[in-house]
Structure 1
């Protein structure tokens, strides 16, 4: 039975987190707030749970969900061949509205969909999300909405779209806090599977801010800073369509918005 908990009240927050953790262990889906929009999450290591998440959203395996992590040190446990530039961005902007696509650790026993050996990772800057992730470990998460519909900014909005397909809804109020429709941006996504790093979805973090840490970061069109498009690549840099297709971070991301 679907239950909503008001996480702005201390007693309901504790009960909600406990029941959300139990739901995750039972391979069911939960909805919770992040620092961008609300997310629907499931055990990243349970194919059954991931399939339920995709079915709840009305998505196919061709749009695999990203994975939210509770701590920076989880990066090396889930990804391999992490570029130094990507590590700098993680240290600067995690927790926050930045998702990065990496080569997944080949030894991991999970099935997120048709990822082509990649995984999209993010650490959210939200207390409820962090508390849940600390209890559950990494979660496969996408925006809490049906594909093609507006991203939910409250658990109540998510409930109108996802209904009984979700076991537990954690209501934390409007996200982003104090925001409006215009503020409900998904995370910025960067492809870190090849160098130079490249933005593949513009979102909560501006390109200019990211380039303060990694000046050579390519924009969504594959252009370097202040370099004409024709000169932005060299023969050694893979073209945009040659890079591995990373997991979708929501309805409107790598493949094609969402949380992440």
Structure 2
């Protein structure tokens, strides 16, 4: 029996399987099995009202999970699936409350990683529900895993099987677009940008940032809490011009800073994530995890450029800074 066959059997038995996607590794369970889904929440320490994203084999499975599907959803699915885009739609009555956090909506995505797609196809062919609920395979609120080793570090024996698909190509979570309330709204930025979505829809989506009226009425979605994606070591974002002087001032006070920068430098406690937004996103979580292991007093992050290409990176860094408390 190969690992794919074993994964299908475990999922059908209600067990947890960590799966690689192009975004991050997910902690997967049969989305139609409430008891299996409950194991996700227990393993992660995730609040029960926090909804999950259901991964499906292809757009032909939409009606199994969603109803009242608008043309905009089908257009976005045709343009970006398989890929790092999650659609929030009205749920079918058969979708378990455990998946949706008790809401009338469900998040759906067709992942682009070939191993994840092969698993979904095999799971459906074996008589499974065709849907795998899979939030990031880490402890709730902590750095998302972008390799199989990260999953082992985070969850250990809490997962029955880890499918190793290598490093994640994108490295940050999917863009989430809400299509359940009329005008499309971006609830979480990701690799697929607002401009790309607008080009398909022939109109710009609403940017439902946390704290405004649109966000208050929006469904709860994964990764929308103020504190998320966080290392233990506290994080401070610093303007590029102030980075070196801030680091020197901390060292003068007897503190040990670690630095996350755009470009390489000479310090031992420095990592460069990349000057290109896509490369930076790909490297971000692995770099934060590596810096977190140094035992530094503080991680200084060189603030990236303020352009649309960097929006998702800014989102993740802001939430990571809010969640890093210095307490494991």
Answer whether contact 1:83 1:192 (CA < 8 A) is retained: yes
In structure 2, do the counterparts of structure 1 residues 174 and 202 end up closer, same or farther at CA, with 3 Å as the change threshold? Answer: same
The equivalent residue for 1:169 is 162
Deviation at residue 60 of structure 1 after TM alignment: 1.4
Deviation at residue 32 of structure 1 after TM alignment: 1.3
Count of residues in Structure 1 that have an aligned counterpart in Structure 2: 220
The equivalent residue for 2:216 is 241
Q: How many angstroms apart in 2 are the aligned matches of 1:37 and 1:152? A: 6
| Larger RCO (CA under 8 A, 6+ residues apart) | 1
RMSD: 2.0
TM-score, structure 2 as length reference? 0.63
1:194-213 C-alpha deviation (Å, 9 max, x unpaired): 11110000011111111110
The equivalent residue for 2:99 is 112
The equivalent residue for 2:196 is 209
Among residues 26, 37, 40, which one is paired with 1:39 in the alignment? 26
In structure 2, runs of 5+ residues without a counterpart are 124-129, 230-328
Answer whether contact 2:86 2:175 (CA < 8 A) is retained: yes
Q: List aligned pairs for 1:38-187, cutoff 5 A.
A: 38-108=25-95, 111-136=98-123, 137-176=130-169, 183-187=170-174
Deviation at residue 117 of structure 1 after TM alignment: 1.5
Corresponding residue SS for 1:86: helix
Q: Highest CA radius of gyration, 1 or 2? A: 2
Answer whether contact 1:44 1:110 (CA < 8 A) is retained: no
Q: How many angstroms apart in 1 are the aligned matches of 2:100 and 2:77? A: 24
Q: How many angstroms apart in 2 are the aligned matches of 1:242 and 1:256? A: 20
Answer whether contact 2:197 2:205 (CA < 8 A) is retained: no
Answer whether contact 2:187 2:215 (CA < 8 A) is retained: no
Deviation at residue 257 of structure 1 after TM alignment: 6.5
The equivalent residue for 1:235 is none
1:119-166 C-alpha deviation (Å, 9 max, x unpaired): 100000111000111122210111111112111111111011111110
